[in-house]
Amino acid sequence: MCTQEINERIRQELQQSLSPRRYRHTLGVASAARRLALANGAAADKAETAGLLHDAAKELPLPDMQRLAVQEYGRTLPETIFRTASLLHGYAATTIARERYQIDDDDILKAIAHHTTGAAAMGLLEKIVFMADYIEENRDFEGVETLREITARSLDEGVLAGYDMTILHLLEQHKTIYAGTVTNRNAHLLQMRSQGGRD
């Protein structure tokens, strides 16, 4: 089965399993991921697959997410991720991708897993799905247009701005911040500096 056929099957099945709001967001992320892939020299079909599956586990109860994540990662995930549905769902979705759709492409699986938390050294597809989740057409939070413009100019600058906006939002809301997010943000900034992208 070719990637486009798999993506069509995923779309049909997610329409049945996700709420209308989550499904609309999922299609938006898949579309944004495809566009970003084309603009940045990545495989558009793979980006679309990762975008379609990024929230496949989002509406599951936490114990179900944990069971799925253990199948893929054992108990290697940090406890904060393992006990927090908003952080865990991407990791759980990798099991759905592998078991239900026989996806074993490491780039796709990493992009699904890290779309919320990011990672210390993200590859191109990871960055694309990370940003597609922020800027897809249904998002309307304050600053999203600026984030879209930054990302259109530079994917790496978009990733940095995405991290910064998330951290600032959590600070303003007096919410806890997953320490890995700060670590991953700093690693991304250092990577940009080493490549001459930031002073």
Take residue 88 and report the two structure tokens written for it: 């865990």
Residue 1's pLDDT is what? Answer: 54
Tell me the angle at which helices 3-17 and 85-101 cross, rounded to the nearest 10 degrees. 130
In terms of residues, how long is the chain? Answer: 199
List, in sequence order, every beta strand (DSSP E) within 57-131.
none
Domains of the chain (ranges, CATH numbers): 3-142 (1.10.3210.10)
Residue 12's pLDDT is what? Answer: 97
pLDDT tens for the chain, 199 residues: list them: 567 899 999 999 999 999 999 999 999 999 999 999 999 999 999 999 999 999 999 999 999 999 999 999 999 999 999 999 999 999 999 999 999 999 999 999 999 999 999 999 999 999 999 999 999 999 998 889 999 999 999 999 999 999 999 999 999 999 999 999 999 999 999 999 998 766 5
pTM for the predicted model, two decimal places: 0.95
CB 44 within 8 A of CB 37: yes
Task: Report the candidate in 132, 98, 136 with the shortest Cα–Cα distance to residue 115.
Answer: 132
